[in-house]
Amino acid sequence: MEIADLLKPEQVIARLRATSKKQALQELARRAAELTGQSEREIFSTLMKRERLGTTGVGNGIAIPHGKLAELEQMFGIFARLEHPIDFEAIDDRPVDLIFLLLAPEEAGADHLKALARVSRLLRDKRACEKLRGTDNAEALYALLIDNTSSWAA
């Protein structure tokens, strides 16, 4: 599974404005609903249920909120670079400024885990994150995420 399988140019937000974790997830749910045709309320509810199990703020300024939706037909991602870092209750207590939302069909099984692993591997790379933090242009972010993933892969 490659990042290009999860992400299209319109699924990159270069300057997400949010002042809280809840607001960031609401905005990502709204955008995901527009692009997938799924219910915004259902997406947001799924993300919040997952957050109640434990934070998806994985540390180093990164969050990977995720969940499964019954009506979704294929894996779907949104990458967002926040305008200002926010408290995401991350495991290292650092604020988050890079978010990769991942939604999967209910029956995705191992594919969901493979996609999570792929996104996590990309965002664990400090050089990759430095480059992503170095631009607020959506096209440049998309190019960094897609074109360089093979060289960033561990």
Collapsed DSSP state (helix, strand, coil) of residue 103: strand
Check 21, 31, 66, 81 and give the catalytic one.
66
Tokens representing 39 are 């219910």
120's enclosing H/E stretch is helix 110-124
Give the list of residues 6+ apart from residue 106 with CB closer than 8 angstroms, or none.
68, 69, 70, 72
The C-alpha atoms of residue 46 and residue 69 are separated, in whole angstroms, by 8
Residue 112 among the catalytic residues: no
- What is the set of active-site residues? 66
